[in-house]
Structure 1
């Protein structure tokens, strides 16, 4: 696997995970850490959605790269 493809795949996976975590905090499903300013904040639900989709797009692009 080429280094660029691997890097894009890893970055996409991390972005997707972080985005899902932010969605969980923004909706109040994930309440960790308990003192987080992101809990029950709609803005973090939207931001997390954008980051998660960007991560999934990066994964799709990495999978379509040759090599």
Structure 2
């Protein structure tokens, strides 16, 4: 039961990190302009931060899929 709980937690964290970081990247690139008062809009560094965070989320998912049941 312990490994399956760890696996589920890694999957949830990885998926949430990827979803939020894609929004960061799109806001940083000026593609998504929502919310209008966001400090990340059209700031290129947030596109970079989003890409890095997305890669970390992908690593979490890879680790989760390698954890044996």
TM-score band w.r.t. shorter chain = over 0.9
Aligned to 1:53: 55
TM-score (norm 1): 0.95
Q: How many residues align?
A: 67
Aligned to 2:24: 22
Q: Does 1:42 align with 2:44?
A: yes
Gaps of 5+ in 1: none
Gaps of 5+ in 2: none
Q: CA RMSD in A?
A: 1.0
Runs of 4+ in 1 over 6 A off after TM superposition: none
Q: Aligned with 1:21: secondary structure?
A: helix
**CA–CA distance in structure 1, aligned partners of residues 40 and 66 of structure 2:** 35
